[in-house]
Structure 1
């Protein structure tokens, strides 16, 4: 980034307060930027702020902080006149129960261009792809997702906390998605195995249509938290949950690569940005696969099949009842 070329920085920003009643502080450095958003009296959910393709580095009930390099988060570089500018979009995707509206707001850092500095003729573009070894994980968690579950037995109607994650040591940032999940009473799936669909149609949490199941707000792009309401399928038996995990390009969300759940009285919502919930419109029909980007090729992501279990769902009133369907 040749940071020593820059003698001083000119910070360009606009008032965010008019949009979400929040105060934004912008600290532009030669090769990085820190953005601090402190919400006022609004009902904004700080976890829903995004800077380009990046999630907040940290957030609390009142503040969201981004500490990122200009090489990350899909920053755009522009040389104009006497300035070298890095631009991005700060977005807010409001949740269905928020009183704050979704918006997009520019973030700009402009530096004096050195007299003898000229842009490279070729500006390489890097695509996310498999480098090194990705490690996928799926497990049962305790109620607040702070540690592993102490029991694998769940009462009918209670919530089964599930966390899926991917370790991406040498990769470009990846977004962890659950493309498909079904429950079965066997560790190995056979063509004629009875199954209970949980996630289908390329990331649609179909079980949320008839239960309280939902995706929890993300803490990291590489993790996905699912609160699954215990169902009647396989009641009293050993149950295994078979899932297809996908680590995907953070800029590649579309109707076939997404995480959607159904919210009563609001319909299908996109977990990662409520403002783009139209990507979930196909959840009640057919979310067709892309033909131009194959997940098997590894160009934009990597898929992994995982099995969680066994776990047991109990009725509490009858040890012999079993049947299909949600609680």
Structure 2
């Protein structure tokens, strides 16, 4: 069939033989964590790697038969200037991927950056600079023929990531392996993180599930709207209001519209340019 079978890989870890084996096994999409083409920036976030490894990994993947190739890049890295970010975007485009994911740096617990910040050895990401970087990337990627179909994701025509779309369109998905997350029939659940515990549960005939959350029909509807708003096409206005005409829900939508965060056009509710900046705040308001 034409199923999208995708994997993520660190550019330093792939081999010619390994990629050929994966392609022969049926994998047809690969995502590399490029992050930056500046080696100083990579070191500062705890990833001592040569920026040339990504270009080598992409070449190996293409030689193995992969056509659908994504690169993840991050803006707002410590010490990153707008010129360095532009260089990363241009270097990524030079590798001719079919898809690019551009993520704003966030400080995650127990990472090297978070530890450095707690010790006073770093500075928080500059939100204003990150906004400028986002705008610059969006402009350059549009000029290069990429479509922005989701807040952080850009693709060449026909190469939108199917599993990403499944998340944003509230479809069912099953995650296999340690830490994998799933969503089936209104139930969200995640597997244990530890590989040994995962294997032991399976050996004992138990599902290796750690956390489970059952969503009510109303929660499912609201999440469908919140996730769907991340897409450039937004959500169907009638579907967004189904089950709760008027009332508090409608008040919230109208309040967000007055704030310039959402707009309704041709029956669809979408985030505005400003709304994309504050997508998390919009989500909190609607949930």
What TM-score do you get using the length of structure 2 for normalisation?
0.27
Higher normalized contact order (CA 8 Å, seq sep 6+, divided by chain length): 1
Q: Which entry has the higher C-alpha Rg, 1 or 2?
A: 1
What TM-score do you get using the length of structure 1 for normalisation?
0.25
- The structure with more strand, counted as a fraction of residues: 1
- The structure with more helix, counted as a fraction of residues: 2
